Structures are given as C-alpha cells and as structure tokens.
Structure 1
Amino acid sequence: MTTVHTKPDVATRLMANRNFRLLWAGEATSKVGSAVTGVAFPLVAVVTLQAGTIAMGVINAMAWLPWLLLGLPAGAWIDRRSRRTTMLTADVVSIVALLSVPLAALAGVLTIAHLVAVAFVVGAASMFFSTAYQAFLPAVVTKKDLSEANAKLQGTDQVANLAGPGLGGLITQWAGAVIGLVVDVVTFAVSALCLSRTEVAETVERKQRDTTLRREIGEGLRFVFRDRYLRVLTLSAAVDNLTLNAMYALTVFFLIRTVGAEPGVVGFLFAADFVGGLIGAMVARRAGERFGTARTLLGFSIGCAPFGLLIPLTHDGLGLGFFVAGLLVPSIGMVVGNVMSTGFRQAYCPPGLLGRMYASSRFIQFGVNPLGAVLGGVLGAAVGVREALWIVLVAAMLGRFVRLIGPIKSHRDLPTEPPAHLRPATTEETS
C-alpha cells in the first residue's frame, strides 16, 4: 500500500507556527483596545472638554506628527536593533501615556493640552511599533506565507476593530469616555506579554565602522524613490492619507454636532469601516491569486473609492445608512490594496533594509497626516462641516488614480525582488 504525503497548506503552516500565533494574538488584542481608544479619545475631547473642530484637527495631527519629525531616523534605528525589543518598548510607553489621561481626569486636571501631548507620545510609540512590526513579520513566517499571514493579520485586525468602536461607544455612554482608555492600557499589556514569549531569530544588519545614521537614512530613501513600484505606492498612499485624515478630523464632530447622533451610536457607525476591512481581508488573497496582485490592487483601490461620496449625504434616522455605506465599501478596497502592497514590500525588500524602507515610505505617507488633520479642521471651520466633507471626499476619490502612474498598471502581478542595480551590498548577522 502506498502512502501519499501531502504538503500542509499555508493556513496549516501558519497555525503550526507558535511565534506567529503569539504575534497574531497580541496584535489582535491590542487592536481591540486601540479601536476603543479611536472612539473614546476624540469623545473625551468633544464631550468632556468641549473641543471645537480646530482643536480636534490639532489632536489628530499630533498622533501623526512623529512620522514627520522622527520617521527617518527611526527606520535606521530599527534596522540596527531587535525589532521585537523595539515593539515591547513601544507597548510600555503607550501604557504609561494612555494611563495618564484617566488619572488626570480623576484629579480634575485634564486639559486639551494634555490630550495633545498624549496623542503625540502614543503616536511616536505607534510609529516605532508599526515599522518594527512590518520588518519583524518576515522573520516569523516564510516568504511564501507572507500574503496569507498579512491577510490573516489584517482580517483579525478588522474583527477587533469591528468590536472596538461599538465597545468604545457603549463604555462612553455608560461610564464616560476616559474609562475607555483604560481598556487600551490593558490590551497593550497583553500585546507586550505575547511578544515577550516569542522566540524569533532576527536578521540584523552588521554596520560598517565608517557608517553614519545620515548615510543609512539615505540608503533607505534612495531605495524607495529610485524604485518605480515603491515610488508610486508611496506617493499614492500619501495622497490617500492626506484626504482620509482630513475626513477623520471631521467625522466625529459631523455625526454629533451636525447630524445629531448619540455618542453610543457613533461607535457602531464607525464599525462599518471595519466590516468593510474584514470583507477585504477575506477576499484579498484569493482575488490576488485569480486576477494578479497588481490588477487586484488597482481594481479594488480605485473601484471602491466613489462610494465615499455617500458620507456627506448622511442625516439622522435611516439617513445614517449613507454613512455606513460610505465607510464600508471604500474600506474593502483599501484593505485589499494594503494586503497586496504589504506582502509585495515584505517580499521585495532586502531584509537589512526593511526598517528603513518602511520608515522612508511612511515618512512621506504618514508625514502628510498632520497636514490632512489640520486641513480638515480648518475647512470645517471655514465652509461648514458637511461642505468640507464634500471637498475632501471628492479629492480622495480622484487621488486613487495616482496608482495608474508608473509600471503597476502594465503587469498582472507585482514583482518579488528588486532589479539587481537597486540591491544594496550589506552584511547581515542573526541575533
């Protein structure tokens, strides 16, 4: 009798990978808390401290300003050190910063300035964590499993985010917005515990004695902007983030002050964003296999964007459905595009450059976020919140066509390695 041995499929391999399971569990738990905070934090400002649109824009801007101020040196710093240790440190910093808000509220000394400072510190910790996280994943799973791993992580993030806004809205309704931040503190602690139990052999570049931080930063920037694929993906993401942050700076204010929705309802409305993301994560890998990664990225990113124009049509009652659809469908396109582009970057970039590649890309992509947040607040104050949303969302739809510049539109699939002339000569060691 002949025994037939079959290779385990990608899902089985990932589930057998203890390090991936720990990373997955910690990230999913942390995402629940961050989603709660995503609702609770602006509600602390609007409901507890009576913040206006410009103050909301500044608070949102502070969460992204670290990418502009620290993003480039952070990438070089991450490539020199253990990504796991960097992520653990970021979790601890976030715990301390977020815990200061409910403590200040209990003491009766919470101010807008305090929220601005916390937004900056947590934003800086998130910058270090997310850059290290993207560079850490290729050490946890094999290159052939990256697409499925990213899809699972994105999908689980969306499930966590789906629960988080509703939970955040309920906590705000029942116990006050500041209590919602305590939930995030606990989830960051769980994330740190899971990370501390991983055992991963990381690849860290051994630096030459004559190298400098400036030179390392330059290597990352040159790699991104000389490469035709990375350059287009970076610029298109920057346009997306500029317009999306302008929108997010207005949406909580729009729903509460213009539409008249209750704080508890706001959380459930934002859950539509994550339902769309979950759907996108579920279909991303199969769509990429059937249509090609490049075609899937373009088709979903561009094709789903026009539905965002439903958001300014929102009004109370059944009219809240416009807001739900306007978040849900574009979210499908964004997550499918993110799965395609993230897997591409992780497979395409040499391991010793991953941190700097992500930091260089995100220096541009996220560096515009403070400008977008402030722009949204200023537009809302100048022309009205609903009118500002129309301007921002039309710009967001048109911005998706930036992806058609360059080589992506000419291929079925994105490449898995850069051309020889862009590959840096580096010496690596395992730590």
Structure 2
Amino acid sequence: MSTTYAPRKPAGPDSAPRGRWGLWGAANFRRLWLGETVSGLGTAIGNVSLSLVAAVTLDASPLLMGVLTAATWLPWLFIGLPAGAWVDRWRRRRVMLVCDLVLMVLFASVPVAAWTGCLTVAQVLVVALLTGVAKVFFSTAYGALLPSVVDSADILEANTKLRGGEAAVEVAGPGVAGLVTQLLGVVTGLFADALSYLVSALCLGRIDVHEEPPPPAARRALRQEILEGLRFLLGDPYLRTLACFSMLGNLALNGIQAVQTVFLLRDAGLSPGSVGTVFAVVSAGGLAGAGVAGWIARRFGSARGLLLCMLVIAPFMFLVPLGGRQLPIALSAVAWGVAVCGVIAGNVIAGSFFQTYCPTELLGRVRATSATIGYGAIPVGALLGGALGSTLGTRPTIWIMAAVLLGAAGVLLASPIRRLRDFPARKES
C-alpha cells in the first residue's frame, strides 16, 4: 500500500469561475507562472554568463567547458530517483522555495568571489554541479505541485502557458544575457540570475495551497519508496513508452545541439550573427509549439495529437542537414523551427498526461524516475554527437540524430498509444 499525500486546494480565486480569462484569472496560477517565467529568464542569462565567466575570466579550455555543461545534468543520474521519494515526503512548495534561495546564493557567490580575487575554475564547476542538484529537486517538486494549484481539467492549459513562458525566455534569454553582460560585465551579470530566483521565491511564497505529506510514521525505507515509483512507471505501458520516447528524443536533440554551431559556421558558411538568427527561428518554433499544444490535443485528441506532432511535424528535422547545399539555409532553418515546434508541443501534451494520470502520492517519484531516464540521455547525447561530429562530420551526425528522433516517434507508434484518441484518466496506485 502506498503512503498518503493528499493536497487540498482552498476555496479562493482558483476555485471561482474565471470566464474568458481562463487560468489568467486564477491568482495562484498567475503567481506560479510569473515566478517561473522570471526564473527561466534568469536561468537563460545565468547559463550564458556562467559560460562566459569560465571562458573569458578564467580562460577555461574546451574540455572544461564541456565538463561545465555536463555538470548541470549529471545530478539526475545520481540523485534523480531518491529526490522523487524525498519530494513525495515533503511539502513541494517548500522544496521549491528552498531551491530558489539556494540557487540565488550559488549564483551570487561567483561575482562576490571575483570581486575578492578568489574566483577559481573549481568554484565555477562546483556552482554548476550544485545548481544541477537544486534543479533536480525543484523540477521534481514543480511538476508534482502543479496538480495542487489547478484543477485536473486545467492541467493542459496550465502546461501550455507555463511552457509558452519558458519558450519565450529561451528566445529572449541569450539576447538579454548579451545586453546584461555588455552593461554590467561578464561576472556582474550573474547577479541578474540571482535576483530572478528571489522573485521566484517571493511569488511561490504567495501561492495559497494546502499540502499534507505523509506523516513520518507512515514512511517506509527510502529504497522501498523509490522502487514503488520505479515499478509503477515500468509496469504501466503508457508511462513506460513515454519514458523511452523522452530518452530517445533527448539523445537525438542534444546530439544535434552538440554540432549545430559548428555545422552552421563551417559547413553552411554562416556568420556568427546569422547563426544567432537561425537559433532565434528555432526558438520561435518552440514558442509556437507551446502555443498550439492545447489546440492540437483538443482537435485531434491528446494521444493522437502526440503522434501527429512526432510522426508528421518532427520529421521536418531531416531537412536540416540539407541546408546550404540542396536547400537554402533559410528554408532549412524554418524546417528546423517546425520540427522543434512539433517536439515542444508533444512534450507539453505528454507532460500534462503524466500530471493527470499518476496518483498524487506517487507523482514525485514517477516524474523523477521518468526524468532520470530522459535527462540522463542529455549528456550521453551531447558526448555522442560530439564524437560522431569529430569522426563523420556534422552533416552525417545530424542525419543520424534525425533518424534517432524518428525512432522516438516509432516507439510511440509501436505502443498501445497508437490505438487511443485520448490518453486515459487518472490511474489508482
């Protein structure tokens, strides 16, 4: 028998009719959206600024830059599963608040160390690693908290709006990071990231949601609780399929990301400014994907909509390696954006299904298990893409990774999902 985790939403703005404003009329959701969007912008700024600090201020080697990138994702491989069990034991909003404050201190420590003359590569790597640890707990708690903030019927709309905010800051983030760096300097720019986490914490602190995690007496050994979440995911054909789909998708997309800049600069012959324009087009595709996910799910059904995204839209990725030769690079960039649109829309639909399908008391563990499988493929995909790019070239690497992405869609097609119009409702533990 599983432990009990019974969140109870108080009566208030989120329970009242919202009319044409939808979730924007719900105070708790507005606070969550604002906090996470501002935090996402800060993260986009921080990722650029931290890399610039390592490369410019500390003159880090390319190898160290690769280690720095991997450090933020490695914690998923080591603590992703226990983090899910811990989050199911604790109040999820409190976990997110603590993580926000930890992240604020971590990013603020870099400029402070630089001003005192004691900043080292080791500190930057430790900050990246601890940031990854905090993100594991924050992301797990965030996905598990959302069903306590909005009604089940609003989960898809909530994820669409939240992912839309994330996609928007991904488009704006690099440009804002460049402006902040130019105005404040490479190191000082990290204070903007630290401030964003403070804003997120203030917004989370004002969310009115009551949570009742299981009492200590009802808890079992951590290993048992981890295995419960693992068995639930692996034993369910839909969740198991989506975890494999996520793993292959992340492997493919990060394999492409590892070689995309070299491909555009050296093989396609673009200038650095044009490369930035291509990335902006691709990011705009992600923003569009978040915007159309809800419409696709309503028009075609959630399960069929996911298949549509991955079998019809995502294969546009095969046009990317043709850019600069068989196709004009502008057309290739648009195809790339269309493919990313399909991937992001599919992610929104799949993530919404997780939150409405999994039992609340298991949601943290199930999401953490899935994230460990999916996010664990990110550093593997980056390393594989880099290795293939060095031996075969960037164009063949993108062809291979596009095929892997199509393989992720094939996993969906070979599963029971292909027979569904909509994903099923909540499953009991």
State the TM-score, normalized to the length of structure 1: 0.85
Q: CA deviation at 1:338?
A: 1.6
Is the alpha carbon distance of 1:373 and 1:104 closer, same or farther for their aligned partners in structure 2, counting shifts above 3 Å?
farther
> What are the equivalent positions in structure 2 for 1:13-52 lying under 5 Å apart?
13-45=22-54
Aligned partner of 1:157 in structure 2 is 166
- Asked if the contact 1:60–1:373 (Cα under 8 Å) also holds between the matched residues in 2, the reply is no
**Cα distance in 2, alignment partners of residues 102 and 364 from structure 1:** 34
SS of match in other structure, 1:412: coil
Cα displacement string for residues 135-194 of structure 1 (whole angstroms, at most 9, x for unaligned residues): 101111111111111111111222222221222244456665444433222211111111
Aligned partner of 2:381 in structure 1 is 372
**Cα distance in 2, alignment partners of residues 134 and 339 from structure 1:** 12
> What are the equivalent positions in structure 2 for 1:194-273 lying under 5 Å apart?
194-206=203-215, 208-209=217-218, 211-252=220-261, 267-273=276-282
Structure 1: unaligned runs, 5 residues or longer: 1-6, 425-431
SS of match in other structure, 2:317: helix
Q: CA deviation at 1:67?
A: 0.7
In structure 2, what residue type is equivalent to 1:94? L
Is the alpha carbon distance of 1:91 and 1:185 closer, same or farther for their aligned partners in structure 2, counting shifts above 3 Å?
same
Aligned partner of 2:102 in structure 1 is 93
> What are the equivalent positions in structure 2 for 1:358-397 lying under 5 Å apart?
358-397=367-406
In structure 2, what residue type is equivalent to 1:205? P
> What are the equivalent positions in structure 2 for 1:124-139 lying under 5 Å apart?
124-139=133-148
**Cα distance in 2, alignment partners of residues 263 and 110 from structure 1:** 30
Is the alpha carbon distance of 1:295 and 1:380 closer, same or farther for their aligned partners in structure 2, counting shifts above 3 Å?
same
Is the alpha carbon distance of 1:71 and 1:396 closer, same or farther for their aligned partners in structure 2, counting shifts above 3 Å?
same
**Cα distance in 2, alignment partners of residues 268 and 44 from structure 1:** 24
Report how many residues are paired: 413
- Asked if the contact 2:74–2:379 (Cα under 8 Å) also holds between the matched residues in 1, the reply is yes
SS of match in other structure, 2:415: coil
Cα displacement string for residues 351-396 of structure 1 (whole angstroms, at most 9, x for unaligned residues): 1111011111111111222222222333344444455444333333
**Cα distance in 1, alignment partners of residues 261 and 151 from structure 2:** 41
Cα displacement string for residues 59-102 of structure 1 (whole angstroms, at most 9, x for unaligned residues): 22211111110001100100011101100111112122222333
SS of match in other structure, 1:216: helix
Q: CA deviation at 1:15?
A: 2.7
Cα displacement string for residues 28-50 of structure 1 (whole angstroms, at most 9, x for unaligned residues): 11111222234444454556556
State the TM-score, normalized to the length of structure 2: 0.86
**Cα distance in 1, alignment partners of residues 62 and 141 from structure 2:** 33
Aligned partner of 1:281 in structure 2 is 290
> What are the equivalent positions in structure 2 for 1:58-69 lying under 5 Å apart?
58-69=67-78
Aligned partner of 2:6 in structure 1 is none
In structure 2, what residue type is equivalent to 1:220? G
In structure 2, what residue type is equivalent to 1:321? A
Q: CA deviation at 1:282?
A: 1.9
Cα displacement string for residues 377-417 of structure 1 (whole angstroms, at most 9, x for unaligned residues): 33344444455444333333333322112111111010012
**Cα distance in 1, alignment partners of residues 401 and 53 from structure 2:** 25
In structure 1, what residue type is equivalent to 2:238? Y
Percentage of matched positions with identical amino acids = 45
What is the aligned counterpart of 1:352 among 349, 361, 364?
A: 361
Is the alpha carbon distance of 1:210 and 1:199 closer, same or farther for their aligned partners in structure 2, counting shifts above 3 Å?
closer
Is the alpha carbon distance of 1:409 and 1:63 closer, same or farther for their aligned partners in structure 2, counting shifts above 3 Å?
same
Is the alpha carbon distance of 1:304 and 1:55 closer, same or farther for their aligned partners in structure 2, counting shifts above 3 Å?
farther
Cα displacement string for residues 103-150 of structure 1 (whole angstroms, at most 9, x for unaligned residues): 445556655544432222111111111110111011111111111111
**Cα distance in 2, alignment partners of residues 99 and 263 from structure 1:** 30
SS of match in other structure, 1:304: helix
- Asked if the contact 2:246–2:408 (Cα under 8 Å) also holds between the matched residues in 1, the reply is no
What is the aligned counterpart of 1:166 among 169, 175, 185?
A: 175
**Cα distance in 2, alignment partners of residues 371 and 280 from structure 1:** 25
- Asked if the contact 1:235–1:365 (Cα under 8 Å) also holds between the matched residues in 2, the reply is yes
**Cα distance in 1, alignment partners of residues 314 and 389 from structure 2:** 22
- Asked if the contact 2:323–2:332 (Cα under 8 Å) also holds between the matched residues in 1, the reply is yes
Is the alpha carbon distance of 1:174 and 1:270 closer, same or farther for their aligned partners in structure 2, counting shifts above 3 Å?
farther
- Asked if the contact 2:18–2:26 (Cα under 8 Å) also holds between the matched residues in 1, the reply is no
Aligned partner of 2:193 in structure 1 is 184
**Cα distance in 1, alignment partners of residues 409 and 122 from structure 2:** 35
Aligned partner of 2:3 in structure 1 is none
**Cα distance in 1, alignment partners of residues 189 and 323 from structure 2:** 27
In structure 1, what residue type is equivalent to 2:375? F
Q: CA deviation at 1:329?
A: 1.3
What is the aligned counterpart of 1:118 among 122, 127, 143?
A: 127
Aligned partner of 1:3 in structure 2 is none
Q: CA deviation at 1:256?
A: 6.0
Q: Is the aligned partner of 1:399 residue 2:408?
A: yes
- Asked if the contact 1:74–1:359 (Cα under 8 Å) also holds between the matched residues in 2, the reply is yes
